Structure 1
C-alpha cells in the first residue's frame, strides 16, 4: 500500500531494507561456504607422503619425512608361510640400498587369516629379534573395509587393487605416487631391479642440481 502522493509507507520501506539485508547475508554465507569447500579440498592429501600414520608405539608419524625417496610399502605378517622369506629379503634390500634414497615401510595387517595376532609392539619386536629388521614397522592397520588406514587406502586406490594376502609390495616414487606393485609370489630380484633404477634416478638428479 502506498501513501498519498505515490510514496511508499514506512512498513513497505522497512520490508525492502530487510530483504536487502537478508540477501546480503545469504550472499556472504554462500561465499564463505565456497571458500571453506575450496580450503577443504586443498587440504586433502594428494600423495602418500601427505598422510600421517601411527608407529608401533602409537605415536603419530608424518610420512612427509620420506618425501624425495623411493619407498617400498608392504603389508606384513608374523605368522604367514611367507614371513621368513619376505622379511629376510626385504631387510637385505633395505640394508643394501640404505636409507638415504630408499626405505621399506612395513604395515602389519590382521585381516588375512590368523597371520598377525599380536599387538603392534609385539609385531615390531618379533621382526627385529628374529629377522634383524631395521626398517620401520608401523602400527597394525586394516586394509579392507570402512576402517581401512587412509594412507594405505591411497595406495590401493592408486592401483585399483586390494592385497589378497600378506606381503604385497607397492613402489612409491619420491613424489608420493604409486608407480608399481608386486604380488607375494613375484621374485625379489624383479623388485630390486626396479628399485635400483629409481634410486639411480634420484642420485643423478641430485648431481645435476649441484
Structure 2
C-alpha cells in the first residue's frame, strides 16, 4: 500500500470565487453566517421546485444569518447552457432570487 498524500484542510472562508460578472468575491465576507452552497441549472427537471424552495428558504431565514451561494453548473447533461449572467438574470427575474448567483462552474 502506498502512502496517501495529505490534503490540507481549508475553510470555505479562505476561497475567492467569481461572481456572475467575473469579479472576485472573498468568501470570508460570509464568516459567522450559515451557508448553503448549491449548484443550480435553469434547464433541469427540478429547476422550478429548486429555485422556488431556495427563494422561500432564503426569505424565511436570511434575517437569521442564512446565506445561499448559488453556482450555475452545466456539468450535468448541459442543463445550464447560457452565460453566468444569463443564469443570474433567470434566477432573479423568474424566481426573485435575492441571494448571490456566482460564475458558472462548468
TM-score (norm 1): 0.45
Report the Cα offset of residue 100 of structure 1.
Answer: 5.1
Q: Give the structure, 1 or 2, with the largest relative contact order (CA under 8 Å, sep 6 or more).
A: 2
1:60 aligns with one of 12, 21, 24: 24
Match of 1:69 in 2: 33
What aligned pairs does 1:6-85 form with structure 2 within 5 A after superposition? 46-85=10-49
Match of 1:132 in 2: 96
Report the Cα offset of residue 46 of structure 1.
Answer: 1.8
What are structure 1's unaligned runs of at least 5 residues?
1-43, 143-210
Paired with 1:136 and 1:45, the residues of 2 have a C-alpha distance of 25
Larger fraction in strand: 2
Match of 2:76 in 1: 112
Paired with 1:65 and 1:95, the residues of 2 have a C-alpha distance of 20
Q: Give 1 or 2 for the bigger CA radius of gyration.
A: 1
Report the Cα offset of residue 99 of structure 1.
Answer: 4.7
What are structure 2's unaligned runs of at least 5 residues?
1-7
**Structure 1 residue runs of 4+, over 3 Å off?**
none
SS at the partner of 1:138? coil
TM-score (norm 2): 0.88
Report the Cα offset of residue 45 of structure 1.
Answer: 7.0
How many matched pairs? 99
Q: CA RMSD in A?
A: 1.3
